Each structure stands twice: as structure tokens, then as C-alpha cells.
Amino acid sequence: MSVEATVERVLRLLALLQRRPSWTAAELAAELGVTDRSVRRDVERLRAVGYPVHATAGVGGGYQLGAGTRLPPLLLDDEEAIATAVSLRLASGGTVAGAGDAALRALAKLDQVMPPRLRAEVRAVHGATETLVAGIEIDAELLVTLARACRDAVRVRFRYSSRGSEDRERTVEPVRMVATNRRWYLMAWDLDRDDWRTFRLDRMREVTATTWRFRPREHPAPVAYVQRSVSAAPYRYLAKVRLRAGADEVRDLVPPQVGRVEEDRDGWCLLVAGGDQLDWLAVHVARLGYEAEILEPPELREAAARLAERVAAMAGDTQTPTGRLPGAD
């Protein structure tokens, strides 16, 4: 067995010992899928790094995690410790239901074993940071169920409500979850539609991981696929607009779930974005503030012309760009 697998098993043993006051060796072995002898060896490994695991012999005996005289060493360097603590602080206000309390508990434990100098740096970052959360809260159990299904390559069954339609049962082969700053998505092979699909986690109900394993297929890059899906596929109109600006510059203004930005030629980039209303698309392209060339759809050019007339009227210009008053025949 690899070192990584042994470490993972020892950490699982520690989590079990923290879950309830006492375990028998047979119970721990069954939970971990190993022999009693392996449990004894793993208990010794925990003791070696400072965890006081007490053993009681005889009927009803077992293992118990005691109150230690010292904490185990923190196996992180300075940068890793600070990054972990700050990440936990952000997670305490995140979009995973129940994760806030768990993150705060983990942060409190980490704070106990951090050197004072690092603790001061972390608190300085916390004191200078506020978190604005605008996302949809996702149940942590749902995330765990889908993560395990992706890892173990087992099919998932759930009810899904697409926009404007009733719930329908779907069976998929999950590949990866992708999180934006507002929503969580699952990329999976839809068995009913025989194609790749993207599913919003907040629209999934009665999610069940089946026992049916599947052989993973060749698949698109999950992040790029989800970005294309959420920025274009669900909408009535798909706009393609050239902007006189660098792609990275525009990406700073356009979130990935809103639009896709690609490099173009001669100092221009290409923005691909979806929307249900042409006027809305025209406004958002205009507010970027760059010279723009609308490639498609043609109706977006008409919406942009209407927007120009309205803006000219708002500015007090009685003559529109076409030389007519707004609304004139």
C-alpha cells in the first residue's frame, strides 16, 4: 500500500476516534476495511505524532482518544499555514451549507497550533478583509455525494428542474464539479440525451449515487465546457462582439459565468455572451467602454441603435444619430 493511502487511512482513523468516545478494534477495522492488526499499527502511528490513544483490554474494551498533554506538530510551512487559515476564514462565509461552522471549528484548531508570529499575521489579514457572498447556498451532503460519485465512477440519479419546465428524472455519469463565484455546476454524460450536459446543483433534487459503475469516457475540459454552457447555451440569443482591448483586460470585467473572452487579432478580442433580451446585451457591451464591432446576431445591431437614440435623448440632444426625433415615423 502506498504512503498516501496509509496517511489517508490514519486520518480516517483519527476522525472515527473523534466521532464517539470508544471503539472496539473490530468496529474500527470494519469501518476502515482493514484487519485488527492494521488498526493496532495505525493507533501506534497516531501515538507517535502526539495523539493520546488509550486502549482498554477485556470484554467491552477498545480504543479511546484521550485528552493529550501536547498537540501534534503542525506539518505546514509558514506560507501554507497562512494560506490555510485565510482559506478557512473565507469558507466560514461561503456558499456550502453547514461549511461555515465546520470551517470556524477547523480554524480554531489551527489557531491552537500556530506559532504566535503566524497567528498575528493571519489575524491582521482577517481584520482587513470583509467577505461579500452573493452565491446560492449548496447542501454539503450533496457535494459529498457527487464528489464520491465522480471519484468512484458510479452513475447518479436525480430529479432536475430546467428553466421553465417541470422536474424530470435524469441519470448521468458524473465527471467533475465546477464552482463559479455564484453557483456550482456538475459536468456529466446524460444517458437519456446521449451527450455531455451541465447541471446546476441548486436545481437538483433527490440525488442518489447508484451502485452502477461506468468506464470513464473521453471528455472535454470541464472548466471550459461549463463556461461555454453557462455563458451561452441557456439563452435565447448568443452575441459575438469584437472589442478593441486585450483579452485579459476584458476578462477582468466579464465574469466567466457571464461571457467567454478569446484572443483575436490586431489588438482586438472576441466576447461571446448569451442573453434573453437584446437590449440587455447592448447595454452591457456598451458599458464595457471599448470600441466594439457586433458580429452577430444582426438584431443586436438594431438594439444598439435603439440604445444610442435613447442615450442621446437622455443627454438632451433633440436630434438622434439618424437625424430623427426619438419615436418619430
The pLDDT-based confidence of 76 (bands split at 50, 70, 90) is low
Say how far apart CA 217 and CA 298 lie, in whole Å: 38
pLDDT for position 115 = 73
Residue 69 has pLDDT above 50, yes or no: no
What's the average model confidence in pLDDT over 158-171?
A: 82
Q: Which of 30-34, 115-119, 277-281, 308-312 has the lowest mean pLDDT?
A: 115-119
CATH topology of domain 237-315: Alpha-Beta Plaits (3.30.70)
Mean residue pLDDT of the chain comes to 79
- Which amino acid, one-letter code, is at 178? V
More confident residue, 28 or 74: 28
188: nearest Cα among 135, 144, 226: 226
Grid coordinates representing 49 are 505524532
**Helix H segments across the chain?**
3-19, 25-32, 36-48, 78-91, 99-113, 116-127, 140-152, 222-231, 247-251, 278-287, 298-314
Predicted TM-score of the model (pTM): 0.52
CATH of the domain spanning 138-220, picked from 2.60.40, 3.40.50, 2.40.50, 2.30.30:
2.30.30
Helix, coil or strand: residue 223: helix
- Which amino acid, one-letter code, is at 55? A
- Residues contacting residue 329 through CB under 8 Å, at least 6 positions apart: none
- Cell 452573493 belongs to residue: 134
Say how far apart CA 325 and CA 39 lie, in whole Å: 84
More confident residue, 288 or 237: 288
Residue 198 has pLDDT above 80, yes or no: yes
Residue 316 has pLDDT above 90, yes or no: no
Residue 244 has pLDDT above 70, yes or no: yes
CATH number for the domain formed by residue range(s) 3-65: 1.10.10.10
